[in-house]
A and B are shown apart, each in its own frame.
Chain A
Amino acid sequence: MSLQIELSTSGAVQVVTLAGTLESSNVSKLKQQLEELVKETPSGIVLSLEDLDFLDSSGIGIILFGSKLSLSHRIPFLLSGPNEVVRQTIALTQIDRFLQVTPSLEVALERLAS
């Protein structure tokens, strides 16, 4: 199954909605997208994971890459709404200790607004 990436904005926040699977064969697609996005200096980036079915360790790697890249541009970077499988994979690597993972996109946007 492939990865679909949809871009939208909420105010000055850039929302990147992922659907399908995020894995070694398609991470470069998201990497390229994130590199482009930070150049536009949004007030925040939310990676919306509600429709993401699965991610492997390469997927985690690219999320870490996006987080580091955003923070180097002083842009807050949040994850929102992972399903149980995705949430467990994130928890296993313990990167959720350093990344902000919110239960839904609304919560992520509220957090950025506050």
Chain B
Amino acid sequence: MSPQFPKPNLILLVGSTPEFLILEQQLGHLFTVELYQEVEEVLSTLQPGGASPEIIIGRSGEELRRFQDKYPETLAICIGDEEAQEDLNLIQFSFLQEHPDQILEHLFPVFLKHHELLQENRRMNGHLEMVEMLNEHLISLQKQSRYDLEQARVAQELLLPHSLNISEHLQIQAEFIPMDEVGGDFYDVLRLNDHLIGMVVADVTGHGLSASMIAMMLRLTFRQVGGSHSSTQEAISRINDTLNDYMPPGRFASLFYMVFDEQTHELTYTCAGHPPAYLIRKGDDEIISLSTEGVVLGVLPSDVVQYGEGKVLLNPGDRILIYTDALLETNPAWGKNRSSELFGEPRLRKTLFSLRNESLSSMTQKIMQSVLNFAGKDRFDDDATLMGVEVHALEQKEAS
């Protein structure tokens, strides 16, 4: 079986000189050929939106270009003397003026090449369309994902306490900077009864949406359990048992929980695998670490683990600071070389000490900024939370 060669659907001849008549004669035996005087005539004759003629032969490169502006896939053959700038779709065959009878032998190779290129081009355009469609789909998914994250961020913000002013005995200040739109850290304050105030800072492993979902679960559990237990130790044991039932493998939460008694000014606290809190006594140069026995939450049931409970009496002007480990673990080369120096506890203590005479809000803000300045960054590489609490003398507050 002989191979099937492609055949041009229509050949347009544009010219009035004798060689065009010869070309019409030569080509007309084999193909559909139409002869016109000028390009404008061709353009007005062709049906808009119809199939592109595959070949056009004319004398003027400029005219052929004008035609190709409307029909870019058509192969144009210029037989004029003027220098036409050749490209894949425009060939100059000036010799046809003298030898129009040689058209067939020269036309076929260029047409075949043009035809192949056109096919390849169409295939590529098909792929390109598919890539563009996929791209649009991905952009749409990305928009949806951003919308979902934004909704999660709003939900998480709504779960943070609306006001920290729940006790006239305490000033409470909180800094919360999630690494992503949402985070695995949270803080909360809760009035347990007419004289007990519960305060918590927690950190769920990892960051992003999955960590924030666990954080929300933990926060709701804390609200439910914390409110019914005045003992921090009991509350944490109950929270641990609840979390242990549905914490995903490889995940856990650390938490520092404290309850302030407005009548006695006694602070009771439990630390569950969390960095120790700091107590800064007013007028005292010592910074005291507050911690207790207690493994991270959601790892082992409470009949296996034990949570301790500490107590300390607070005086007006005393401050407590609770934070998450991002403040300790931030380093200048995060993600590149973690072995470089971390901000660490000694540096944090030193920073607290240097800021001890600032107002509480200024102190918490400047601590966060100091950590970022140390790392030379404008954002943390993990969720970061810091809660500051200062005990007020009531008469002092009234005076202020």
A: which residues have CB within 8 A of B?
Answer: 1, 21, 23-24, 27, 31, 53-54, 56-58, 60-62, 64-65, 68, 85, 89, 92-95, 97-98
A sample of 24 cross-chain residue pairs with beta-carbon separation below 8 angstroms, ordered by A number, consists of A1-B337, A1-B338, A21-B338, A21-B339, A24-B207, A31-B250, A53-B337, A54-B339, A57-B203, A57-B205, A58-B206, A60-B252, A61-B251, A65-B250, A85-B342, A92-B325, A94-B273, A94-B296, A95-B273, A95-B295, A97-B293, A98-B299, A98-B304, A98-B305
A-B CB proximity, top 4 nearest = A54-B338, A53-B339, A65-B250, A93-B273
Tell whether B164 is near chain A: CB-to-CB under 8 Å. no
A85 contacts across to B, CB distance below 8 A: 339, 342
Nearest chain B residue, comparing its CB with the CB of A31? B250
B339 contacts across to A, CB distance below 8 A: 1, 21, 53-54, 85
Contact B249 A65 (CB under 8 A): yes
A64 CB contact (under 8 Å) in B250, B275, B304: B250
Question: In the bound complex, how far is the Cα of B296 from the Cα of A98, in angstroms?
Answer: 11
Contact B206 A57 (CB under 8 A): yes
B168 to chain A, nearest CB (A): 34
A61 with B205: in contact, given A53-B338, A94-B296, A95-B296 (CB under 8 Å)? yes
B249 CB contact (under 8 Å) in A53, A54, A68, A94: A68
Number of A-B contacts defined by CB within 8 Å:
72
B300 contacts across to A, CB distance below 8 A: 98
List 11 additional A-B contacts (Cβ < 8 Å) besides A93-B295, A98-B295: A1-B336, A1-B337, A1-B338, A54-B338, A56-B329, A56-B382, A61-B205, A92-B273, A92-B275, A94-B293, A97-B293
A11 to chain B, nearest CB (A): 29
B: which residues have CB within 8 A of A?
Answer: 203, 205-207, 249-252, 254, 273-275, 293-296, 299-300, 304-305, 325, 329, 336-339, 342, 382
- Specify the main secondary structure of chain B where it touches its partner: loop
A62 to chain B, nearest CB (A): 5
A95 contacts across to B, CB distance below 8 A: 273, 295-296, 299
Question: In the bound complex, how far is the Cα of B205 from the Cα of A51, in angstroms?
Answer: 23
Question: In the bound complex, how far is the Cα of B294 from the Cα of A21, in angstroms?
Answer: 26
Nearest chain B residue, comparing its CB with the CB of A67? B299
B338 to chain A, nearest CB (A): 4
Question: In the bound complex, how far is the Cα of B336 from the Cα of A98, in angstroms?
Answer: 32
A58 with B205: in contact, given A64-B250, A93-B254, A97-B295 (CB under 8 Å)? yes
Contact A94 B294 (CB under 8 A): yes
Question: In the bound complex, how far is the Cα of B35 from the Cα of A16, in angstroms?
Answer: 83
B237 to chain A, nearest CB (A): 14
Contact B206 A24 (CB under 8 A): yes
Nearest chain A residue, comparing its CB with the CB of B338? A54
Nearest chain A residue, comparing its CB with the CB of B253? A57
B325 contacts across to A, CB distance below 8 A: 57, 92
A63 to chain B, nearest CB (A): 9
A68 contacts across to B, CB distance below 8 A: 249
A53 contacts across to B, CB distance below 8 A: 337-339
B338 contacts across to A, CB distance below 8 A: 1, 21, 23, 53-54
Nearest chain B residue, comparing its CB with the CB of A92? B275
Contact B299 A27 (CB under 8 A): no
B82 to chain A, nearest CB (A): 64
Question: In the bound complex, how far is the Cα of B207 from the Cα of A27, in angstroms?
Answer: 14
Question: In the bound complex, how far is the Cα of B382 from the Cα of A58, in angstroms?
Answer: 11
Nearest chain B residue, comparing its CB with the CB of A27? B250
A94 CB contact (under 8 Å) in B295, B304, B337: B295
